[in-house]
Amino acid sequence: GKHSENLLQVAQGFWLVAMRSDERILPSSVVREALNEKVEEIEQRDARKVYRKERDTLKDEVMLDLLPRAFTRSRTTLALLAPQHGWIAVDTSSHKRAEELLNLMRESTGSLPVRPINVKIAPMACMTDWVRTQQAPEGLVIADECELRDTGEDGGTVKCKRQDLGSDEIQQHLDAGKQVSQLALHWRDKLSLVLDDKLGLRRLKFEELLQEQADEQGGEDMAGQLDATLLIMAETLAELIPSLGTALGGEEIPQGI
């Protein structure tokens, strides 16, 4: 970041990297207005109709003309690497952005043999069973939020917040065939999260005890604070990830790996 020239933040074997991307922002309304003006000018000048193919070409020209005057938006995506544990966690809910970061790392290092984690039991089946029985594996506690999805072709979705997930109302949805596609959980009094059916960990929030521990260990300077925060976050995730894998039946290793 702006406080350091380092390209890598390292704390006891854990690595933190950041990808910054700048993009030009052109509101569609601005492009459309400029395009309409250009089309109108041509139609009046040449007394002819501008059809779709030519209109698409004109749109590209308009966008190229407007780009130098467009606003620039910067976006930073963080990734935590744990080489000794064999995983990378990317801090984004966007699959596309995660792939952009991983591809940039491949280009920078020459090789990055990674794959999405797979488990032996589908997360949706596990989460549905946990809510139905009101029993989660050791270390996990069911919170008060979930998303229920009808897996039929035209199925709907029910989002529940601040509700007792053991209530008759929730159980009736499960009896009707809905399954849990997202579930809020607490883990060992260390953090809270929302687990989804794609194994995404959303809205990770570290409990105050861990935050206070980081403050105490980090001291007064920013570098110490960064190291302490990174280490506590990384060590906690290094415990959480295999724990979740076990709760979901264990990791499924593809053949040939």
Portion of the chain with pLDDT greater than 70, in percent: 97
User: What φ, ψ does residue 132 adopt, rounded to 5°?
Assistant: -65, -45
CA distance 15 to 230: 9
Residue 177 has pLDDT above 60, yes or no: yes
Kindly indicate the confidence band of residue 23, based on its pLDDT and cuts at 50, 70 and 90. Answer: confident
Q: What is the pLDDT of residue 155?
A: 75
Does 257 have pLDDT greater than 70?
A: no
Query: Is the torsion defined by CA of 75, 234, 8, 226 positive or negative?
Result: positive
User: What is the per-residue pLDDT across 111-154, written as a single tens digit (0 to 9) for each?
Assistant: 888 888 899 999 999 999 999 999 999 999 999 999 999 987 77
pLDDT of residue 215: 74
Question: Quick check: 78 and 16 in contact, CB under 8 A?
Answer: yes
Beta bridge mates, 15: 10, 81
User: pTM of this prediction?
Assistant: 0.75
Mean pLDDT of 78-100: 93
What pLDDT is attached to residue 256? 64
pLDDT over 70 at 2, yes or no: no
Name the residue among 218, 220, 183, 188 with its Cα closest to residue 203: 183
C-alpha 147/C-alpha 182 separation (Å) is 5
For residue 245, pLDDT over 80 is answered with: yes
Which H or E element spans position 10?
strand 9-11
Sheet holding 87-90, edge to edge: 9-11, 14-25, 71-82, 87-90
CA distances from 21 to 30, 73, 77, 161 (A): 23, 8, 8, 34
Confidence of residue 84 (pLDDT cuts 50, 70, 90): very high
Torsion (CA) 33, 38, 44, 50 in degrees, nearest 10: -100
DSSP 8-state symbol, 111: -
Answer with the residue of higher pLDDT: 189 or 183. 183
What local confidence, expressed as pLDDT, does residue 246 receive? 94
